[in-house]
Chains A and B, each alone.
Chain A
């Protein structure tokens, strides 16, 4: 890709990040002032439109779903936040979570600004599978919720008002309840795919292990949350679970070059 296109893509990512950050910053004042709330939402929509443009650009260039490099996957991940928020808002009645849904894509888009855009689309034969798109897409939904759960959980540690704390913990539980089926399905679809390509459901590959660790951490959260006595410890697993997501998605690619998932970088 020539440097001009790279620069333009970086600037577009930066513009998206700025819009998301602005929406996030105004969202707090928007709680009391409807007009500011509307501006915040418009900025959010603007950020989303820019994000959509990036996803669409990669889609057109690739001629296929842009899931091949970590850059493209992160672009799609930040894109997922608004649609999933709409689900949370209208189905789960969790509209108060909007600032968290604005901040996470802003952070991701900031990361994209510092990355080198890539549009290389040479799918390895193993990736030319019907399981490829569902595997990534489902995981992206799960990771979206992991990010929001992490932010709410983190903030809840610093909230003193009992009522707010309880609501936040309930919100975290809501997020994990949405992410858990997706994370489970994503992992199993990956296993089924591996069985078709590599001849085994599970090979203890570095990325697979960390995906399992992440899943186990959220499993522990759900188990601990069920017990009244252990409930206080449960949020720790959400924090660790999000770190697990980060390791699985990004860090593994730097640590283990000989991973069977190395083409996911």
Chain B
């Protein structure tokens, strides 16, 4: 019955998609779902224990382990749903250390017991495909955790590599390499979580160039400006607003990235974004219980399904049924 209900819930969720009552912040994401699931499942299992006598064969021990494993897994999910928390923080590469992270659900600040700074970010890409797109191949960020005592601890995050510290698990979830792709429109900014680091007002490119160069004297001088006169711009997405035709985009060869827009007075507003990374920081008190539950469940299914005695049916012998492959 429980499996059937879960089946119906999952099927409805699959057809409802992201707007579903079940997904996102809905029922399935709330802590009440694992509570209800665990409650009903535990009751069913206790009822079964009371009604049936379990022997000591591999099959029966496996059967018990399987259901115990699911129970432990649900307890783990419940612990995670109740006591767990997810946070985000964006670190500018080479920026000043910060000891605040932000809760995912309400963006409220949460102080941690050490300061964190990102010192370096590496990104490798595959060769461009036929459309000129380059898929990510590898990325890594180097971090330093600074204790209030001044003691420092180095760590790094990369694809499929997390870092655990003081009950928190750090994930590298997003980055901006401080560079934009030519021809993209203002949506490029969305990669940066709206974080405006620095802005300039400039009357023309030469003015802009001098101002930016004054702040970033160490960067190479290989400017590549891409600008489109009114009517000459052709966006591949085709979503560009014609009234907004005096947009200028610039991509700098290395660091940082500039997106700039001219206003009605002909002034150029420039937004400068450095390299930055976004980390997911998670606290999940139920994680190990979930892993243990999964292990028990798999062990249980193996013992139950693969070590059972095979019933030999009446026509299952070496009769005329023997055919190709035998």
Residues of chain A touching chain B, judged by Cβ–Cβ distance below 8 Å, are 23, 26-28, 30-32, 36-37, 40-41, 44, 85, 89, 92-93, 95-99, 101-102, 120, 122, 124-126, 128-130, 163-164, 166-167, 170, 174, 176-178, 180-181, 184-185, 188, 191-192, 195-201, 204, 206, 209-210, 212-213, 216-217, 219-220, 223, 256, 258
A125 touches B137 (CB 8 A): yes
Q: What residues of A have a CB within 8 angstroms of the CB of B82 in the complex?
A: none
Residues of chain B touching chain A, judged by Cβ–Cβ distance below 8 Å, are 3-4, 6-7, 10-11, 13-14, 17-18, 22-23, 28-29, 77, 86, 126, 129, 135-139, 159-160, 162, 169, 171, 173, 280, 282, 287, 290-291, 294, 297-298, 301-302, 305-306, 308, 310-316, 320-326
Bound CA span A92–B308, Å: 11
> DSSP majority for the A interface?
helix
Q: What residues of B have a CB within 8 angstroms of the CB of A101 in the complex?
A: 325
B10 touches A216 (CB 8 A): yes
B310 touches A31 (CB 8 A): no
| Distance (whole angstroms) from the CB of B250 to the closest CB of chain A | 28
Given contacts A95-B323, A96-B326, A178-B305, contact A204 B22 (CB under 8 A): yes
B305 touches A177 (CB 8 A): yes
- One of A98, A124, A125, A192 near B326 (C-beta < 8 A): A98
| Distance (whole angstroms) from the CB of A34 to the closest CB of chain B | 9
B297 touches A174 (CB 8 A): no
Count A/B pairs, Cβ under 8 Å.
157
Q: What residues of A have a CB within 8 angstroms of the CB of B160 in the complex?
A: 125-126, 128-130, 196-197
B10 touches A212 (CB 8 A): yes
- Interface CB pairs A-B, < 8 A, 15: A27-B323, A31-B324, A85-B325, A98-B326, A120-B129, A122-B126, A163-B314, A170-B311, A170-B313, A170-B316, A174-B310, A185-B298, A204-B22, A216-B6, A223-B3
B290 touches A167 (CB 8 A): no
Q: What residues of A have a CB within 8 angstroms of the CB of B311 in the complex?
A: 170
A220 touches B7 (CB 8 A): yes
Bound CA span A41–B306, Å: 27
B23 touches A204 (CB 8 A): yes
Q: What residues of B have a CB within 8 angstroms of the CB of A178 in the complex?
A: 305-306
Given contacts A30-B324, A44-B325, A85-B325, contact A184 B298 (CB under 8 A): yes
Q: What residues of B have a CB within 8 angstroms of the CB of A93 in the complex?
A: 310, 312, 316
A166 touches B314 (CB 8 A): yes
Bound CA span A40–B315, Å: 23
| Distance (whole angstroms) from the CB of A83 to the closest CB of chain B | 13
- One of A95, A177, A204, A217 near B7 (C-beta < 8 A): A217
Q: What residues of A have a CB within 8 angstroms of the CB of B129 in the complex?
A: 120, 122
B308 touches A177 (CB 8 A): yes
Bound CA span A125–B140, Å: 11
B316 touches A125 (CB 8 A): no
B305 touches A163 (CB 8 A): no
Given contacts A95-B322, A125-B137, contact A177 B306 (CB under 8 A): yes
| Distance (whole angstroms) from the CB of B292 to the closest CB of chain A | 11
Bound CA span A209–B17, Å: 10
Known: A41-B324, A128-B138, A223-B3. 11 other contacts (CB 8 A): A27-B324, A30-B324, A44-B324, A99-B325, A122-B126, A167-B315, A170-B311, A192-B291, A195-B287, A196-B162, A199-B280
A124 touches B3 (CB 8 A): no
Determine which residue in A180, A188, A220 has the highest number of CB atoms from chain B within 10 A of its CB, and name it.
Answer: A188
Q: What residues of A have a CB within 8 angstroms of the CB of B138 in the complex?
A: 125, 128
Bound CA span A258–B11, Å: 18
| Distance (whole angstroms) from the CB of B243 to the closest CB of chain A | 30
Given contacts A191-B294, A206-B14, contact A167 B313 (CB under 8 A): yes
